[in-house]
Structure 1
Amino acid sequence: MKTDFSEGFYSNDSDKETLATRNTLLTEQVDAVRQEKNKLLQFLKCQLTGYLGVKVAYWIQGSFKNHTVIRPVRSSDEFDVDVGLYIFADAEGQGVNASDAKRLLNKALQAYCESHSTAKLEDSKLNCERICFPDNFHIDLPLYYIDEKIGKCRLATENNGWIDSDPKALQSWFDNQIKHFSDTEKARLRRVIKAIKTWVSLKNIKLPSIAISTFIARNYVGYASEEDAIWELSNSLTNYIVTGGRILSPINGDDLISAKGEELDELKSACSRLQSVLKAVALSESIVVSHQLWSIEFEHVLPPLNSLKVQAGSENLPAITTPPQISVKTSSGVPEQVLSNVSVYRGDKLSFRVDNKNDLGHNQRFDISDSVTENCEYRGKHYMECTILNGGLIVGVSTVVVNVLRQQRPLRNPPKKRYGPVR
């Protein structure tokens, strides 16, 4: 590539906004998961042991185990945590039916939800049970049995009985596949997986995390920069899918993509569009242009141009002539004003409007709406960026930093505490 946009994807400075910081779970999200998970699993171990009369244990699996879980890209989305529950017995040999075992797990979860009002039990899935929590996450609970004498591990399903499935074997394969890389390269490999998962989530297509992780582990070779790694592996993966390649499980040979019909067509179309963007990125001679191209695929999760501290007029960069002034109005009733930084509570709404339209040379034709309203759902630092284009060239860029506080806005007139006897 002619330019290096790596600082938009990752920085050693943890305070710098990058794709990696913006698709990583917040500290309070991780803490909420741990607290809810620990309470739930201790309860389930006790209940299932009582129901079945055998040892029951659990094992974290999937993206949470592999450190590749991503922050939801929309306020309505959830992230998931996979926790396998293990019955230490030859369930089939003892006549325990898979669907009956799943029903016992569902019964235990119902009991948990009755005593924990924030937990909500979803309808049974074919291969697991799911319980949802208010902080935009859910826990999927597949149920296995392990026959330690012969090393057999099987999964309880609703329609197909007990089937061969061993998530520990897949995790061991992944760890062994990347063990020769340095810790720095392993961390980058996982960031590439998270970047592609972010793209999949933004485009709302079906490409399972396990398929992405398997492909990256097989094809990662070490790269000169963060952008090189994301570009090369995204290009390889999308080309492989478009040309009909299948990603097979290293454990049992199953097709890990599993998309068929319309879902597969949508996946291939999205991959083709990403390939077109990747070709344009490879030819880009400007960080500004690279940012605009990558933003097509990574949308609002990519940090805004201003946060990258690109200097106007430097080599291969267009000079920014007139930065737009952005006027901000909050739902709290604070008067509208031109700001570069604003702090709000979770649940607030912000409206943004360009204040100096006539100064930008676009008073006759201005191709943006009068105002844009956004909801403030996730705490932390966010950005509203405005880019002015003239004849296809960027002539103005401005950003408002939005600091969303952790708590919701306090009530203006909360109920007063009553004293004395109640009438």
Structure 2
Amino acid sequence: MGIAAKLFYNPEDRQDTLAYRVRPSDEQIEEQQERWNDLAEVLKNGLRDVFGKPVSSWLQGSYKFGTQIRPARTGEEFDIDLGVYVEWQGSAESGEVKPLELKDRVQSILDDYAADGANDATSVANPKQRCNRICFLGDFHIDVPSYHLDRVADLRDLATQDGERESSDPKAIYVWWKDQFEGSERDRARRLARYLKMWAALTFEAPARPSSILLTVLVADAMKAINSERLSGDDEYFAQWLVRSRKD
């Protein structure tokens, strides 16, 4: 392993590497995990009490993929995506729970949660088109997309703020990602995704920034296409990704 490679990733001196500096600290991960676990239980219980149906939750996005990065700019926050799923068999339209009714109830639960000072919440944003958002001390927020789930058919529909539903399956892309790699290769793919996401965050303003999931998929595709027989460190893999992206 060369000098440049050790600056990217070095398990013997992890705090002085790029891999360590772009990711959340262990303490931040623990704090976020404690908060989303608690919020998930509150949401599930609250929705179950109102709608009288089974309710589950599923973490998604960068936190789930293991590709979360630190905020790159002042004022930006860690982002966590926590999906909630109201379950009934059959199509979304066959149920009694309407999309806007579901999102409004999630918003109400978040408002009540934030009102309890013990929960360290700083604010609840106005409802977004595809999620509701609650912000916390520690510079992170949790986005809560709301779904109908037909567990038997393994189908999901996302509730939107305009009262419609969208076919959406965050589980499918996560399963695809996991199946691309094993062991140390998956760890490397996560690191490469974090490098790329931090580069994008420092290069582009938020509205023009490539989406996190797009960058993660690009890394997976590139790693499968790269001839890695002579590659060792993260620096060489990252350089090969840049060469390939320019050719494409």
For normalisation by structure 1, the TM-score amounts to 0.53
2:164 and 2:246 mapped to 1: Cα distance?
A: 35
1:271 maps to: none
CA change 1:132–1:235 in 2 (3 A) is farther
* Residue 239 (structure 1) shift: 5.1
Decide which structure has the larger Cα Rg and report it: 1
Say which SS state the counterpart of residue 16 (structure 2) adopts: coil
Residue deviations 1:78-117, cap 9 Å, x none? 1101111111114420232211211111111111112236
Is 1:60 equivalent to 2:68 in the alignment?
Answer: no
Is 1:203 equivalent to 2:203 in the alignment?
Answer: yes
- Bigger drift between 47-56 and 154-163 goes to 154-163
- Bigger drift between 4-13 and 137-146 goes to 4-13
2:169 and 2:83 mapped to 1: Cα distance?
A: 10
Is 1:105 equivalent to 2:113 in the alignment?
Answer: no
Equivalent residue runs for 1:384-403 within 5 Å = none
Letter in 2 for 1:82: D
Is 1:40 equivalent to 2:43 in the alignment?
Answer: no
Letter in 2 for 1:33: Q
Say which SS state the counterpart of residue 58 (structure 2) adopts: strand
2:96 maps to: 95
Unaligned runs of 5+ in 2: none
Letter in 2 for 1:227: D
Equivalent residue runs for 1:217-232 within 5 Å = 217-220=220-223, 221=226, 222=228, 223-232=231-240
Say which SS state the counterpart of residue 138 (structure 1) adopts: strand
Residue deviations 1:146-179, cap 9 Å, x none? 1123322111111261111011111111111224
Q: Does the aligned pair in 1 maintain the 2:156–2:167 contact within 8 Å?
A: yes
Say which SS state the counterpart of residue 92 (structure 1) adopts: helix
2:26 and 2:74 mapped to 1: Cα distance?
A: 17
2:84 and 2:13 mapped to 1: Cα distance?
A: 36
The alignment yields a C-alpha RMSD, in angstroms, of 1.8
2:240 and 2:3 mapped to 1: Cα distance?
A: 13
Is 1:151 equivalent to 2:150 in the alignment?
Answer: no
* Residue 135 (structure 1) shift: 0.2
Letter in 1 for 2:204: N
Runs of 4+ residues over 6 Å off in structure 1: none
Equivalent residue runs for 1:96-175 within 5 Å = 96-116=97-117, 118-119=120-121, 120-159=123-162, 161-175=164-178
Equivalent residue runs for 1:67-78 within 5 Å = 67-78=66-77
Letter in 2 for 1:134: L
1:15 and 1:63 mapped to 2: Cα distance?
A: 21
Letter in 2 for 1:209: S
Letter in 2 for 1:233: W
For normalisation by structure 2, the TM-score amounts to 0.88
Equivalent residue runs for 1:183-262 within 5 Å = 183-205=183-205, 206-220=209-223, 221=226, 222=228, 223-237=231-245, 240=248
* Number of equivalenced pairs: 235
Unaligned runs of 5+ in 1: 241-423
Q: Does the aligned pair in 2 maintain the 1:4–1:227 contact within 8 Å?
A: no
2:246 and 2:86 mapped to 1: Cα distance?
A: 39
Say which SS state the counterpart of residue 154 (structure 1) adopts: strand
- Percent identity (aligned): 30
Q: Does the aligned pair in 2 maintain the 1:124–1:130 contact within 8 Å?
A: yes
Say which SS state the counterpart of residue 155 (structure 1) adopts: strand
Q: Does the aligned pair in 1 maintain the 2:61–2:81 contact within 8 Å?
A: yes
Q: Does the aligned pair in 2 maintain the 1:11–1:18 contact within 8 Å?
A: yes
Letter in 2 for 1:232: Q
Q: Does the aligned pair in 1 maintain the 2:44–2:55 contact within 8 Å?
A: yes
2:50 maps to: 51
Say which SS state the counterpart of residue 5 (structure 1) adopts: helix
Equivalent residue runs for 1:287-326 within 5 Å = none
1:227 and 1:52 mapped to 2: Cα distance?
A: 52
Q: Does the aligned pair in 2 maintain the 1:81–1:140 contact within 8 Å?
A: yes
Q: Does the aligned pair in 1 maintain the 2:51–2:97 contact within 8 Å?
A: no
2:66 and 2:202 mapped to 1: Cα distance?
A: 20
* Residue 75 (structure 1) shift: 4.1
1:176 maps to: 179
